[in-house]
Amino acid sequence: MVSRGLLRQPFCKRNSKQVKWEKPSDSLVKAFDEALPKTTRVEKRKMFGMPAAFVNGNMFAGLHNQNILLRLPEKDRATLLKSGWAQFEPMAGRPMKEYLASPADIKAAELKKWLNASYDFVSAKPAKVKKAKD
């Protein structure tokens, strides 16, 4: 058993530096939870050790540090990148291609709108098949 004192932050081999991640604020977690689509198909669990939302086994939104991440179609990403949103890169130079980070000052109604768009986009994708355990 590994001692909890030996656990470390994720390591980035690309530049041989530890990547420092921070826990999202309670207010950000609350805003995220309140804006999620209200359907039983949304599964809340952790990704990167932080809150995330899944549909059919695919992540459609989540939190990372103090950012809200959304998985969106290319057309929406192109539009949002021009209006203050950013490409999500959990590690420098390693973007998650379909994910954007919302601006810090996003309003609740806009967040809800884009979370619903993200949910719709990802729910149209094929369900992920769980791998059999050996």
pLDDT for residue 87 is more than 90:
yes
> Which CATH number goes with the domain that contains 114?
3.90.1150.30
- Is 4 a member of any domain? no
Find the mean pLDDT for residues 48-76: 94
- Is 118 a member of any domain? yes
pLDDT at position 134: 67
Residues near 113 by Cβ (< 8 Å), separated by ≥ 6? Answer: none
- Is 30 a member of any domain? yes
Find the mean pLDDT for residues 41-68: 94
- pLDDT tier at 76, thresholds 50, 70, 90: very high
- Is 131 a member of any domain? no
Q: Which domain holds residue 86?
A: 14-123
pLDDT digits (tens, 9 = 90+) for 93-132: 888 999 999 998 999 999 999 999 999 999 999 998 878 7
- Is 66 a member of any domain? yes
- Is 129 a member of any domain? no
pLDDT at position 10: 39
- Number of structural domains (the chain) is 1
- Is 60 a member of any domain? yes
